[in-house]
Amino acid sequence: MLCTDKTGTLTEGNIRLERHLDVHGKDSEAVLRYAWLNCFFESGMRTPMEDAVLAHESLNAVGWQKVDEVPFDFERRRLSVLLAHQEQDRQRRWLILKGAPADVLVHCTTVCDAPEAHPAGMIALDAPMLAAIRTRLDSLEQAGFRTLAVAVKEMPLDRDHARLEDEDALTLMGFLGFLDPPKTSAADAIRTLSHYAVKVKVVTGDSELVTQYICHALAMPVSGLLMGDEIARLDDATLRGRVESTDLFCRVNPMQKNRVILALKANGHVVGYLGDGINDAPALHNADVGISVDTAVDVAKEAADLILLQHDLGVLANGVLEGRRTFANVRKYIMMGASSNFGNMFSMAGAALFLPFLPMQPVQILLNNILYDLSESAVPLDAVDQSEIMTPQRWDMHFLRNFMLTMGPVSSLFDFLTFYLLLQVFHAGESTFQTGWFVESLATQVLVIFIIRTSLNPLRSLPHPALLLTSIVVVSLAVALPVLPLGVYVGFVPLPSWFYGALALLVLSYLVIVQIVKVIFYRMTATGLSDRKLRCP
C-alpha cells in the first residue's frame, strides 16, 4: 500500500489564487483585501495557499496594525488575526478570519451582501442562503478549486487580545478559489504502481470533491470514501475493516491520517506514506516506509525514512522496481552461496573421515572462495524473472533453509563421485586429488549459478553478460591453474587429460540433475504454500 497526500504528488504543487468571490459568486476585491491582510499579518509558518494569496496581488497595509492572533490548528482549521484600523475620523478593530469553509460557516450568523461597502449590507445567514452558499462551494470544488472562506467581526476598541470565543457570530465576506492542476506524470506512475501490485490510497485534509476531481483527471480508479469526521466515530476494529475497501480519505487531521496507516499495517499490509507537511509527521513515523521530499518541512524530513529529490510518483514507481530487482538478486546470491557452501562443507567433513590427507589445503580453500566470490561479483547487475518483480516479495528464511538443504546434498553427491573416480578409478595421489577436487568444486559452484539464478528454464532466462563473462573467466582460470607456474605455489600439479573429459561429463550431469531437482523443489514449495493458504481462517 502506498498512501499519499494529494498536493504536489497528484498535483503540480503550484497553487494559484484564481477566484475571490462574494457570497453571490461575483468577483470581489474586498474579499481579496481581507484575505490578504489575514495572510500578511499572521506570524506562523505560511502554507502554499497563503503564499498564493500574497503573490496574487501586492496590497497596501498602511493604516492597519496587528494587535493579536489566534493561530491555525488542525482541529479548528482556521486562523484569525485581530487588527486595528485607523480610518479618517476614528479607529476600529477587526477580527479577520480565514479557514476551511465547513469550519467557518458554522460560526457565521450574517453575510455581507455588498462586500465593497462593508460594513453596510449585512443580512442574516438563514437556511436558504446557507444552502445556496454550500451549493456554490460544491460547484467550485467539483471544478477542481480548493476553497477558503473569509469572515470578519468588529471588536471593541479596548480589546487587546484575541480569544477562541471571539470566533463566533462572524460575518461571512466570501470565498477564495485556488487551482493546483493535476500532474500529468502522476497518471503513468499510478498505472505502473498498480500494474506491479502496489495499491495507491489518497489521504488528504482537502475536500472530497476536489480530490475526486483530481483522481478523475488522472484516470485513477478509486472506490470508497471515508471522511475525517467518520473516522473519528469509528473504533480501531471497525476502521480496520473500512480501510480495505476505501481509497480516498478526505478532510482528515494528522491523528486520523496516522490511524489510517496503523489500520492498514494491522491488516498485514506493508505501508508506505508520502507526505511533506507538519501534519504528515505522525503518519511518516509510523508507516513501514516514510517518504518525504527535500523541500518538505524539517519535522517531516526528520520523521521520514527516504527523502526524494523530485516530488514525483514516477520516482517511487522506478524505486519499487529497482528494489524488487535488488531484493531478488540478494536472495539469489544467498541461495547460491548457502547451497554451495553447505555442500562443500558436507563434502569436506565426509572426505576427512576416510582420507589419510587433507581433501584440500587451506590455501587452496581460500583461493577457491576468492575465485568463487569474483565470479559472483556481477550478480547485482543480473536480470531477474518478471515473476519476481510483478508482485511484492517477502523475506522467507524457511524457503532459503529448505533450498540449501535440498541443493547442498546434490552438490556433495557429485563431489563424492569425483572422490571415487580420483581414488578408485584413477588412483590419484594427494596432490592430484586436491588439484582435481579444486577444479571440479569451482567449476560446479560457478556454473550452477546459471541454474539457480532463475526458477525458469535457464536457456530462456538469460543472465547479464557481465555475469556470464566473470563465470567463464573464473572456470577457465580454475582449469588452467594446474598447468600455470602460479599453480605450484598453492600445491597444484598438472592433471591427466582423461580427467578433463570426466570433469566435463560430471559437470554436465550435475547441471542437469540440479535443474530437475530445482523444478521439483519449486513445485513442492508452491503446493505447500497453497495448502497453508487453504488452511488459513
Radius of gyration, alpha carbons of the chain: 35
Which has the closest alpha carbon to 360: 348, 349, 343? 348
The structure's pTM equals 0.77
Q: Which amino acid is at 194?
A: S
User: Contact at 8 Å (CB) between 205 and 72?
Assistant: no
Amino acid at 419: F
2 is written with which cell numbers? 502506498
Name residues whose C-beta falls within 8 Å of residue 140's C-beta, 6 or more positions apart in sequence.
19, 147, 175, 177
265-319 per-position pLDDT tens digit: 999 999 999 988 888 899 999 999 999 988 888 898 999 999 999 888 889 999 9
Catalytic residue among 5, 206, 276, 415: 5
Give ∠ CA 331-336-339 in degrees, rounded to 5.
Answer: 115
Q: What is the pLDDT of residue 118?
A: 63
**pLDDT tens, 206-220?**
889 999 999 999 999
pLDDT at 74 over 70: yes
CATH classification (class only), 328-535? mainly alpha
CB 313, CB 186: distance < 8 Å: yes
Fold observed for domain 17-131+143-179: Calcium-transporting ATPase, cytoplasmic domain N (3.40.1110)
CA 16 to CA 387: how far, in whole Å?
A: 44
CATH ID of 184-316, from 3.40.50.1000, 3.40.50.300, 2.40.50.100, 3.10.690.10:
3.40.50.1000
- 132: pLDDT confidence band, cut at 50, 70 and 90? very high
**46 or 50, which is more confident?**
50
pLDDT surpassing 90 at residue 122: no
- Among 11, 57, 41, which Cα is nearest to 176's? 57
Active site residue 5: yes
Q: How confident is the model at residue 117 (pLDDT cuts 50, 70, 90)?
A: low
Give me the residue spans of the domains in the chain.
17-131+143-179, 184-316, 328-535
Tell me how far apart the alpha carbons of residues 291 and 301 are, in angstroms, rounded to a whole number: 8
